[in-house]
């Protein structure tokens, strides 16, 4: 257990509230601010932000910490919190955790008087979030696809963190899973996992049309499914559904999809939306891990 | 391939339309009636029911064939089709397939001049429908649960068709799965599958409270989760979600759940709702299987 | 815990010794006789059989209880124990557990003064033994096959207890698994499990030759792989390996295999040979289950 | 298909013969030398090594190419082939593939007139070999362990290539799998795969003793299981079996094991021993991959 820690969680969506809850469950003192408009209520809310910060030594800010570069990201807050020298000064000398740290640092030079950490840059944070992202993708596929995932033919484009977790879950439900990758060693891992590896470069000139797939999940943040590649889907039954999980600008040409009559959709920010409790625990873990490493 | 078959599909929901589609994809002649109000359109619609029946030798009616005992079950039809001697006479000499055959037979004595089969009574029909039912249950759990299925503690009550398929899928997604059963041999199968078997009779007096489970799926059509058993959930965090998949009257005391503040819900008729395409193919397969066996 | 039980285990192979060990680990008093020649030594051996029986109230005899119908099955014993009225009299009034009870009963009319139970007839005993049998089959395949199970094409003939457990393990290692079955509902379960169902009746006239399979595991105790069916393997590379797991006389025509140059072998009595510890625990569990049910 | 390729395979064990066989199956011309003493016979053997090399443009040498630094590694050869300028001159201008290339290059300066490639250094070669290595480890565990893998508690030390494949296979058979790793992101992957992650640094001071594990597989080439760590196994039942898969000098103190009475064994060079056919195909694939990349 981390000694002498009093936490406060300021702003953000449901994830941050669950993060605070998880910290409280671990036996720490915690308070949360800027959740006035949230329908879910917790006992540890502290309406006064300054007071919340003052009595804490560890401040947890949201991901992203700010959307407009000026105010704190507080979707459930009644007013808005300006990120300026004053705010930085209140946090001075404390450990401050946030997502997309560089945005916070550019709001005031005084942040150099605090220890500012970015939990969103941690490798294990990304891996852990691959779990709710994959489940969100599956939930989305279940909702949109008129068949069952079991017995369906799925293509997962990319074998990074999300590709690894998602393909394994799809197989676990009983889908027939192909995974496209670039590295030969990844293709060996894919085959060892009982799935069919496809060379990502040959995807646009596959002997078998992409239309053989019921569901295509893209995880690669490059324009892989451009109009040229998409055109390979159309000749056939055109029932293929494409779900793009890659961060913006994504890897699917949505205009071409519409023109070609292909059913495609974006699924972004899934962890916070489909599993805020898990997403909050993931933030908590990253904060703990950073704290432990920092202590050594 | 079955020889000399012309099919017509009359009434029912989206499943029946997908059933007709799947038959057409197999190369048979097929027409479909009573889908005037359906937003999904297929080329093989035949507005005139009598004409549809006359030109076919195999008639596929919905599941259930009738809800009120008087008219055909046609949720997408413009008018209603009375099930009387006249209707039975038009079908005379044809092979007629439906779900819940006894309801059809009681509408006219003339049905004894046709070959009436009940596809819903087939064992493989029930097993195949366990797949969309299980996926529907998982989709429901994903929607309601604030955490991820992966890493969650799930209890599946019952190890019949749905219990077997559902528990395996939950494990495939990475849940920690316990299954309650009554037969010692089922408990051995559960353990062999890497899951924890629980004796269903001890469920209400388990040393560890039921509250340890994040998700409870009931598949047993008896009152298993009565107020006595449910009371074991409450002392703890009360975040457990109960999803009752058993046919009405089900196996969960919903009034007690409300009184105790337990989040519980029914999930019924999942195949037609979550995967009408697969559900339609399952009806098609049952019809084919019956036809093949009948030919021998 | 069962009250007032003192156990003695008399005769049998390593399994029975492990059974005694497992009973001792549960805290019961136990002794074991007729293991003089066994290289594995346990502290609870009692050389005097009569003494062992007298001080116990529960006697556990081997599976099968006798091979020749005259003496107890004691492969590790120095002498032999005659099964006659004298032996039955010593056991009189005790609970006696054995495998293949009818063989014991025919050795003396006095057995009707004891409570004789057959643990080998229990359904859960058979299911639990499917686990070591399946692992033994896989170990055998690993030893004989020059390739890896992962990526190999396997056929499991039969979807009973062993077929269910074995096919699931093969899939878990990454094999491409087909399972033949007769019941349409079993074929639906096979498909739901992400494996390919084959109709057992069409096996001998499959469009694709049996030679496509690297490994064939037979679990069906009928002559399925007769010379007619086996001939379908030969035209191709003839590298297929057949492992017959079915009880004698088995389901493979071994003479035809030799004539046709097909590599085939029997693998029998696997639990006791490959996993005596687990096999012993399975006997213990069956004995406990019978005792509990008998007490009610 | 690679154009204008004539292959010859010289020396090595059964793997190399299967490699030649696999190349022949792909439709290429191939010959093999130095297998006079091998009991398995293939049609494409060419007794005269020089002739074999002259008529080929691609030479495949074994892994390792030499054991003594002087002669080619030819365990099945009648005589021995000296690796000197003469041998290098015969190969001049050809594509030469081998394992542990640096050993070959040091035998003659003339090798710089050939294109010498090392297939054993390829990342995908290592990943693909993780499959036969893992199966060999499981076969070894099945042989040594008196229980079943299903239901056993296994620890896999290390989550590199072998750790990833092996842990997944063990889970697929139904074991309860823990994996130790160092990176927090690997621990997240392990948890997502439904296994228990353990911090490798805490292994020697785990609150629960190592003796809880039935089977420990080490894949890490550092002294992890030193006498200090091993001592944690002894207090308990001491039935734990340790299988060391790490390359020499390995990661287990075998002397300490013997002193402490722990059953431990090395399992090395598994691919060639347990699955020479697969191991040969893996060499073939690496040779093809290098050739394709070299052509671009």
What digits encode the pLDDT tens for the residues B73-84? 999 999 899 999
- Candidates D40, D135, D270: best to mutate against C (most CBs of C within 10 A) is D135
Average pLDDT of chain D is: 92
**Residue B136 scores a pLDDT above 90:** yes
**Residue C237 scores a pLDDT above 60:** no
Contact B274 A131 (CB under 8 A): no
Sheet holding A196-199, edge to edge: A196-199, A176-181, A153-157, A215-218, A241-244, A263-266
Min Cα distance D165 → chain A (Å) is 7
| Alpha-carbon gap, residue C45 to C51, rounded angstroms | 11
Out of A174, A176, A191, the one facing C151 most closely (by C-beta) is A191
The three state secondary structure string of B3-60 is CCCEEEEECCCHHHHHHHHHHHHCCCEEEEECCCCCCCCCCCECCCHHHHHHCCCEEE
CB-defined contacts A:C, below 8 A: 20
End-to-end CA distance of chain C: 14
Contact A146 B172 (CB under 8 A): no
pLDDT value of position A98: 96
Structure tokens at C146: 């020059």
Query: In the beta sheet, which residues pair with residue D153?
Result: D176
Which residues from chain B sit within 8 angstroms of residue C188, using beta carbons? 124, 127-128
H or E, element range at D217: strand D215-218
Helix (H, G, I), strand (E, B) or coil at A129: helix
CB-defined contacts A:B, below 8 A: 84
Rounded to 5°, angle at Cα D256 from D252 and D262: 85
Query: Mean of the pLDDT values across residues B104-123?
Result: 93
- Select from A286, A252, A250, A247 the least CA-distant residue to A270: A247
Instruction: Quickly state the pLDDT bin for C228 (edges 50, 70, 90).
Output: confident
All chains having 3 or more CB pairs closer than 8 angstroms to chain A: B, C, D
Min Cα distance A267 → chain D (Å) is 21
Query: Mean of the pLDDT values across residues B177-206?
Result: 90
pLDDT value of position D223: 92
pLDDT value of position C206: 66
Instruction: Quickly state the pLDDT bin for D237 (edges 50, 70, 90).
Output: low
pLDDT over 70 for what percent of chain C? 95
Strand B241-244 with B215-218, pairing = parallel
**Residue in chain D nearest B148 by alpha carbon:** D192
**What does each C-alpha distance from C140 to A287, C149, D143 come to in angstroms?**
50, 11, 10
**How many alpha carbons lie under 13 Å from residue B295 in its C-beta half-sphere?**
11
Min Cα distance D172 → chain C (Å) is 4
End-to-end CA distance of chain D: 14
**How many alpha carbons lie under 13 Å from residue A292 in its C-beta half-sphere?**
8
Min Cα distance C170 → chain B (Å) is 13
Contact A204/A178 with Cβ under 8 angstroms?
Answer: no
Query: If you search the block for the tokens 């509990």, which residue do you land on?
Result: C292
Instruction: Quickly state the pLDDT bin for D294 (edges 50, 70, 90).
Output: confident
The sign of the dihedral angle between the CA atoms of A174, A178, A183, A189 is positive
Instruction: Quickly state the pLDDT bin for C208 (edges 50, 70, 90).
Output: low
Out of A123, A168, A188, the one facing D185 most closely (by C-beta) is A123
**What does each C-alpha distance from D32 to A236, D27, D44, D71, D119 come to in angstroms?**
47, 15, 6, 17, 18
**Residue A1 scores a pLDDT above 60:** no
Can you give the pTM of this predicted structure?
0.94
Out of C132, C139, C281, the one facing D139 most closely (by C-beta) is C139
Contact B174 A173 (CB under 8 A): no
Rounded to 5°, angle at Cα A11 from A7 and A14: 95
Query: If you search the block for the tokens 């670039």, which residue do you land on?
Result: A182
Query: If you search the block for the tokens 């080490």, which residue do you land on?
Result: D218
**Residue in chain B nearest A270 by alpha carbon:** B148
pLDDT value of position A236: 52
| Alpha-carbon gap, residue D286 to D296, rounded angstroms | 16
Min Cα distance D204 → chain B (Å) is 26
- B44-48, C244-248, D219-223, D291-295: the lowest-pLDDT one: D291-295
Which residues from chain B sit within 8 angstroms of residue A281, using beta carbons? 147
pLDDT value of position B199: 87
Out of A135, A148, A277, the one facing B150 most closely (by C-beta) is A135
Query: Mean of the pLDDT values across residues B5-16?
Result: 94
Min Cα distance B18 → chain A (Å) is 9
pLDDT over 90 for what percent of chain B? 80
Out of B124, B188, B289, the one facing C127 most closely (by C-beta) is B188
**Residue in chain C nearest D140 by alpha carbon:** C139
Which residues from chain D sit within 8 angstroms of residue C151, using beta carbons? 131, 278
Instruction: Quickly state the pLDDT bin for D207 (edges 50, 70, 90).
Output: low
- A171-185, A271-285, B74-88, B221-235: the lowest-pLDDT one: B221-235
Rounded to 5°, angle at Cα D124 from D119 and D129: 85
Contact A169/B173 with Cβ under 8 angstroms?
Answer: yes
**Residue B207 scores a pLDDT above 70:** no
pLDDT value of position D264: 95
Each residue's pLDDT tens digit, C69-104: 999 999 999 989 999 999 999 999 999 999 999 999
* Domains and their CATH numbers in chain B: 6-121 (3.40.50.720), 125-272 (3.40.50.720)
Contact C224/C203 with Cβ under 8 angstroms?
Answer: yes
pLDDT value of position A5: 84
Which residues from chain C sit within 8 angstroms of residue B187, using beta carbons? 124
Q: What are phi and psi of C233, to 5 degrees?
A: -85, -35
Out of A143, A145, A173, the one facing B173 most closely (by C-beta) is A173
Q: Which parts of D64-175 are beta strand (E)?
A: 95-98, 115-118, 153-157
- Select from D168, D127, A177 the least CA-distant residue to C174: D168
Out of B184, B185, B192, the one facing C165 most closely (by C-beta) is B192
Contact C192 B127 (CB under 8 A): yes
Each residue's pLDDT tens digit, B100-109: 999 999 999 9
Query: Mean of the pLDDT values across residues D57-81?
Result: 94
Min Cα distance C192 → chain A (Å) is 7
Query: Mean of the pLDDT values across residues B236-240?
Result: 69
pLDDT value of position C239: 84
**Residue in chain D nearest A290 by alpha carbon:** D184
Contacts of B3 (CB under 8 A, 6+ apart): none
| Alpha-carbon gap, residue D138 to D154, rounded angstroms | 11
**Residue B258 scores a pLDDT above 70:** yes
Q: Is this complex's ipTM strictly greater than 0.95?
A: no
Sort B246 into a burial class: Cβ within 10 Å, 0-12 / 13-18 / 19+.
buried
All chains having 3 or more CB pairs closer than 8 angstroms to chain C: A, B, D
Instruction: Quickly state the pLDDT bin for D68 (edges 50, 70, 90).
Output: very high
**Residue B94 scores a pLDDT above 80:** yes
- Candidates C135, C181, C184: best to mutate against B (most CBs of B within 10 A) is C184
Contact B151 D191 (CB under 8 A): yes
Contact C34/C74 with Cβ under 8 angstroms?
Answer: yes
pLDDT over 90 for what percent of chain D? 80
Out of A126, A168, A192, the one facing D130 most closely (by C-beta) is A192
Contact D157/D178 with Cβ under 8 angstroms?
Answer: no
Which residues from chain A sit within 8 angstroms of residue D165, using beta carbons? 189, 192
């Amino acid at each position: 257990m981390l000694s002498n820690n009093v936490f406060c969680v300021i702003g953000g969506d449901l994830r941050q509230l669950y993060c605070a809850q998880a910290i409280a469950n671990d036996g720490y003192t915690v308070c949360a601010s800027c959740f006035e408009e949230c329908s879910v209520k917790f006992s540890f809310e502290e309406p006064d932000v300054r007071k919340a910060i003052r009595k804490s030594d560890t401040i947890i800010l949201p991901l992203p910490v700010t959307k407009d570069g000026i105010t704190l990201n507080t979707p459930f807050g009644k007013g808005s919190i300006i990120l300026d020298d004053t705010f930085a000064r209140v946090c001075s000398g404390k450990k401050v955790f946030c997502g997309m740290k560089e945005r916070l640092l550019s709001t005031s030079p005084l942040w150099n008087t605090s220890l500012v950490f970015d939990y969103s840059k941690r490798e294990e944070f990304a891996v852990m979030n691959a779990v709710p992202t994959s489940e969100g993708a599956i939930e989305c596929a279940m909702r949109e696809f008129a068949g069952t995932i079991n017995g369906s033919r799925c293509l997962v484009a990319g074998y990074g963190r999300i590709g690894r977790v998602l393909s394994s879950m799809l197989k676990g439900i009983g889908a027939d899973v192909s995974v496209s990758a670039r590295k030969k060693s990844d293709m060996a891992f894919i085959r060892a996992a009982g799935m069919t590896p496809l060379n990502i470069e040959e995807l646009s000139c596959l002997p078998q049309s992409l239309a053989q797939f019921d569901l295509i999940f893209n995880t690669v943040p490059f324009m892989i499914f451009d109009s040229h590649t998409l055109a390979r889907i159309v000749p056939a039954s055109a029932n293929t559904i494409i779900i793009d999980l890659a961060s913006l600008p994504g890897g699917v040409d949505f205009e071409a999809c519409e023109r070609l009559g292909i059913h495609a959709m974006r699924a972004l920010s899934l962890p916070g939306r489909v599993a805020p409790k898990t997403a909050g625990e993931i933030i908590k873990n990253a904060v703990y891990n950073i704290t432990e490493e920092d202590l050594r």
